[in-house]
Chains A and B, each alone.
Chain A
Amino acid sequence: MLVPMEWLNDYIDPGVSTEEFCDRMIMSGSNLETCEYFGEGIEKVVVGRIEKIEPHPDADKLVICRMNVGEPELVQIVTGAPNVFEGALVPVALHKSHIPGPLHGQPKQEGGVKITKGKLRGVESYGMLCSCSELGFEDKVVPVVHKDGIWILEGDYELGADLPEALGLKSAVIDFEITPNRPDCLAMVGMAREASATLGRPFTYPDIDIKEENGAGEAKDFVSVEIKNPESCKRYCARVVTDIKVEQSPWWLQKRLMYAGMRPINNIVDITNFVMLEYGQPIHAFDINQVKGGRIIVENAKPGEVFTTLDESERTLSPNMLMIKDAERSIAVAGVMGGLNSEIEADTKTIIVESANFAGESVRRTAKDLGLRTEASARFEKGIDPNLCADAADRVCRLIEMIGAGKVCAGRVDVYPEPQEPKVIDVRVSRINAVLGIDLTREEMVSMLEGLEIGVAGEGDIMTVTPPTVRQDLIQEEDYVEEIARMYGYDRLPVTLPRGSNEASIPYGWQLRDLVRDSLCAMGANEIQTYSFVSPRTVDNVRIAEDSWERAFVRIINPLGEENSVMRTILTPNMLETLSRNMNRNIDKVKAFEIGNTFMASELNKDHLPDEEYSLCIGIYGKGEDFFSLKGMVCEMLRILGIREPLFVAESEYGPYHPGRCARICVEASPEMKAAGVDTEEIGIMGEIHPDVAEKYGMKGERIYCCEIMFGALQRHADTEIVYTPLPKYPSTARDIALLVDEDMEVGRIEKVIKEFGGKILETVRLFDVYRGQQVEDGKKSVAFSLVYRDKDKTLTDEEVTEVHSKVLDALKDKLNAVLREM
């Protein structure tokens, strides 16, 4: 909401500097976006008259103007503007002057532009003739007549007069941020009311006292109003003005609109806009000649009706759109935009002034369906007090009368089936004090509320409050708590700490995620975070099978684009994208992980949401990294979570991974699952990324290693309780063995047999060498293990160890055909 201080001063004298005004308004709830000072930065710019225009000898598009700037000598200025003419009054930036800019066709410069004399194509120019935008007005507010050229000043000004002085250009313009609960503040009167309450100074309402109702007859002679849909139109108020003279508005009116961000058009349109800004009430004006039968009917559109709006667009209407019609046809989309067929034209003589109240929801739907959001529709959507209609209509008429642009007919035609009553409630002094933690007296509160034009009755603790009907946000006691709080000042409220317990708990899942982050960071991995929504194509990119669960997406109805249109089911694609981006940027080694939510579609309704589960993804590439360096990280992380013996089961079918370098990560099933006949539970998968997938992500020929682990499963199996095991008292005995086995014999199987037959006294078994080559026949490999035997209760004898060790060797031979090699 742009508030030009000069305009606000019509209603209230703040009595403080603009800076203090801003600060105090902020603290009472009108937050400041910006405060600009118009007219600042205009120096040595004067009013001048073009006495003579001569062609430029060397440039077709330039002319030489001889300017009278109130000095005995004429000043020569060269301009390229097409709209200059002899006798025109224009702003002249003299030699060594300063203007805010930007210069025509150039970008805005911080601090403005200095103008000095110079030569244009060989001809001396002692300054510059200025356009509106060169003097600091935004293009969108510049009147069309001045838009593509020099600002031609209307009216009488002394030649050589300082321009800002002569035109009254200096004014602070404050842009207030208006919160959605306060549509009443989207109006100068509303801001004046706030300022008055904030500063404790009186304010006056606009002048609506029409001096002479001297139009040709009474309004009701010209127009009748019928509301057929009172749900969507709470009030319709019409006035009639005759003898209209459509012309440019006086400068004071144009200036206010321009400061407030609107482009002046003509006096009638400008006045309707002025009153809209003043009261917050949108106004529309019809040419009465185009309102057939003088009848205004407020009614929904016919199905499929086609209507041309003021912006000359043809629009197809639907029956839930509210229209203004005359005896024969539609003439406006209610609260959104007028029709081309009833527009005010230069020769319009009599107008109907519409000041009506349309329901926010209806206007919102219509504007949305038509794709046509206007200043008026935005205001109706936010909600307007229907009690404003009459005053606003009167104000329009008063202003037309004031500038001599027409004669006002007597009376209003006002259809108002259910007048809006103020919402009167009881609020308690004690409650307000209790919620705010203060101790104000009733009298103090009453004075604050009355400053906001809230009537207060009742006695003792009870205040029976009557808000002005524009304050549609004042409904419950809490609303008054807020009024008192902001009028008292948030900064004056005491500062205390709540009593009560300081014991806090953290969800187990949160703790585990913390632990995983800590352990992976300790192993050198960096955490990443990526979007929860992805492209549905990501699963194609990572070669997920057609009917696989990873394709059961939760879909967004209104995504930003296809690439963000579904919720991710796995993290791996985002990880690959991240790795690829880093590789592209020549980062030669990356270890990264992400812990994030994944989403699985299921039946969706308000009682049933998709399954969400945290997932952990690790991705690595670079020198020294391979399947086993990743496996090492995974195992160490699992160990920290208390998962000591994960199983890695070779997997050759899963799309994203190299068929020979992929493993499902499993853990021993819970006792319940075991009872149901399941021995192991899968918690995730890891491996080298399939070369086709790597290529898809722009990492052709690179070896990428990833794993993805379901956090829910981790959480079920995690055991972070640590119980100490006594240190061994007795010595251990180590036996190293080398076995000759078939090439495809898994080390894991051998270990399993060793552990099984090593029994209680086998403390550890560790693979320390795998050898192929000389002395090992083709198709075989030699695997070497170190076995450590120990009894926690005694020193093992050589015989005892040998006995068990032989059993191990026998079993290896019998079960796996693993033959002991000579070491």
Chain B
Amino acid sequence: MQEQLNKILEEAKAQLSEAKTHGETDEIRVRFLGKKGELTGILRGMGKLSPEERKTTGQMANQVRAEIEKMLADKFEAVKQAAKEAQFKKEKIDVTEPGRLEGLGVKHPLTITMDEICRVFRNMGYSIVEGPEVETVFNNFDALNAGPDHPARDMTDTFYISEDVLLRTQTSPVQVRTLLSQKPPIKVISPGRVFRCDTPDATHSPMFHQVEGLLVDEGITMADLKGTLDSFAKQMFGTSTRTKFRPHHFPFTEPSAEVDVSCFKCGGKGCRVCKGSGWIEILGCGMVHPNVLKVGGLDTEKYTGFAFGLGVERVAMLKYGVDDIRLFYENDMRFINQFK
């Protein structure tokens, strides 16, 4: 009987080594350990044995059983692993094939630039105000202290709809609207489209975008203006940016200034972008002219303020190295897609 048991064990071993699948392995399990299996058969026949024989044979049979079970378990695990590996092999992909995605769209570079400018000023507490693109001559010129002979009023410079109505040449009329509708403290920026009679070429466009700002409160000084725009420049172009204020003239501010920022491409050493000077002119600004504050009925002894403005196209062109302003309005998708 013990011989038989050994034989069974050997056979099980032999068969299992041949088995390749879960099914084959299971057949072997049934064959040896099932209710009608070989080992079961032997155990059933043990009744015929003497108690001692029964004891030793029983022990041996249990040993053999345990051994077969162990072998089966190992085999099951092995075929399971083999099956997985086969599957993995079958499912192998070429990871260098391109990814598949309907990509995100992208905002227009002028929107991106304008948003950035607005974000900086919003963080400094400036509210956004908007006004119409078709404006009154009063809001665009008269109220902004541009005299009746101011050259910008010419039909060669400004688009007119009628004698009293024009396409705004700046977003400053929104400041006039704000002065007429709000009381100080006034702290606003007005982003938007403006129009001037320029034939389109690489650096001119009859339509472009501006962001202008206005702060009116008690005790506002030109030093505050410097601090504000210096902070803006650092937030917009990097913390190492420096600013230079040069005297200039605008009808609606006095004193007026143009602001250069240290070139954000070369850091001020001089390069192609800054034409070797290390500086880039970017902003116009000044202390709001009392004649403008008076439009809002303000006491100019009590209130002072400053105003500033910058061209969005100019910033975008410098920042992204765009050399032709017309690209912004051509809307070639290969151009727009670069601003992702």
Contact = CB atoms under 8 A, between A and B. Distances in A.
Interface of A: 26-29, 31, 179-182, 360-361, 364, 381, 434-438, 476, 478-479, 481-482, 485-486, 490-491, 493-507, 509-510, 517, 520-533, 554-560, 564, 567, 578, 581-582, 585, 587, 590-592, 597, 599, 604-607, 609-610, 612
Contacts of A592: 331, 333
B165 A494 contact: no
21 contacts: A26-B246, A29-B247, A179-B248, A364-B149, A490-B247, A495-B223, A500-B125, A502-B125, A504-B126, A507-B128, A521-B105, A526-B108, A526-B333, A526-B337, A530-B329, A532-B167, A582-B332, A587-B333, A587-B334, A606-B138, A606-B164
A531 B329 contact: yes
B133 to A, nearest CB: 6
B75 interface: no
Contacts of B217: 498, 500
A466 to B, nearest CB: 20
Contact of A493 (B124, B162, B245): B245
A530 B331 contact: yes
B103 interface: yes
A504 B127 contact: yes
- Which interface residue of A501, A609, A612 has the most chain B CB atoms within 10 A? A609
Nearest to A478: B254
A418 B92 CA distance: 99
Contacts of A523: 105
B107 A609 contact: no
Given A485-B247, A528-B331, A605-B162, A597 B106 contact: no
Contacts of B155: 557-558
B26 interface: no
Nearest to A436: B222
Interface string B135-170: 111100000000001110001100111101101000
A498 B150 contact: no
B195 A532 contact: yes
Given A179-B248, A557-B162, A604-B162, A478 B128 contact: no
Given A531-B207, A555-B161, A609-B135, A436 B223 contact: yes
Given A478-B290, A557-B162, A606-B164, A529 B125 contact: no
Contacts of A491: 244-245
Given A435-B304, A506-B122, A610-B134, A591 B221 contact: no
B122 to A, nearest CB: 5
B191 to A, nearest CB: 9
Given A490-B257, A528-B336, A599-B134, A182 B331 contact: no
Interface string B114-131: 000000011111111110
A524 B101 CA distance: 10
Nearest to A486: B247
A31 B247 CA distance: 8
Contacts of B123: 502, 504
B219 A434 contact: yes
Nearest to B154: A368
B165 A605 contact: yes
Nearest to A591: B105
B238 interface: no
Contacts of A495: 223, 226-227, 230
Contacts of A558: 155-156, 159-160, 197
Contacts of A527: 105-108, 111, 336
B333 to A, nearest CB: 5
Contacts of A479: 254
B136 A606 contact: yes
Given A494-B226, A529-B329, A582-B332, A506 B127 contact: yes
Interface in B238-253: 244-249
Contacts of B290: 476, 478
B329 A482 contact: no
B270 interface: no
Contacts, number: 239
A246 to B, nearest CB: 37
Contact of A180 (B125, B221, B224, B249): B249
Contacts of A490: 226, 245-247, 255, 257
Contacts of A560: 197, 199, 206
B34 interface: no
Contacts of A27: 246-247
Contact of A529 (B124, B224, B331): B331
B125 A482 contact: no
A554 B135 CA distance: 12
B221 A529 contact: no
A609 B206 contact: no
A528 B289 CA distance: 37
A180 B145 CA distance: 13
A589 to B, nearest CB: 9
B105 A525 contact: yes
B339 to A, nearest CB: 9
Given A434-B221, A504-B126, A578 B331 contact: yes
A532 B133 CA distance: 9
4 tightest Cβ-Cβ pairs between the two chains A and B: A437-B221, A437-B223, A502-B125, A29-B247
A658 to B, nearest CB: 24
Contacts of A501: 125, 185, 187
A502 B105 contact: no
A532 B159 CA distance: 12
B45 to A, nearest CB: 57
Contacts of A610: 132, 134, 161
A361 B149 contact: yes
A606 B137 contact: yes
Contacts of B167: 532-533, 556
A497 B227 contact: yes
Contacts of A179: 248-249
B125 A493 contact: no
B333 A582 contact: yes
B16 interface: no
Given A494-B226, A529-B331, A609-B134, 10 more contacts: A437-B221, A493-B245, A500-B125, A502-B125, A517-B107, A520-B105, A526-B106, A532-B195, A591-B105, A604-B161
B101 to A, nearest CB: 9
A563 B162 CA distance: 19
B215 interface: yes
B287 interface: yes
A437 B306 CA distance: 13
- Which interface residue of A494, A526, A585, A606 has the most chain B CB atoms within 10 A? A526
A434 B224 CA distance: 11
B333 A521 contact: no
A108 to B, nearest CB: 18
B220 interface: yes
B329 A521 contact: no
Interface string B302-340: 001000000000000000000000001111111011000
A182 B247 contact: no
A59 B142 CA distance: 68
B86 interface: no
B76 to A, nearest CB: 38
A506 B125 CA distance: 11
B332 A581 contact: yes
Nearest to B129: A507
B210 interface: no
A599 B129 CA distance: 19
A422 to B, nearest CB: 20
Given A478-B289, A524-B104, A437 B222 contact: yes
Nearest to A558: B155
A609 B165 contact: yes
- Which interface residue of A180, A360, A501, A599 has the most chain B CB atoms within 10 A? A180
A599 B161 CA distance: 12
A531 B206 contact: yes
B132 A609 contact: yes
Contacts of A530: 329, 331
A307 B128 CA distance: 57
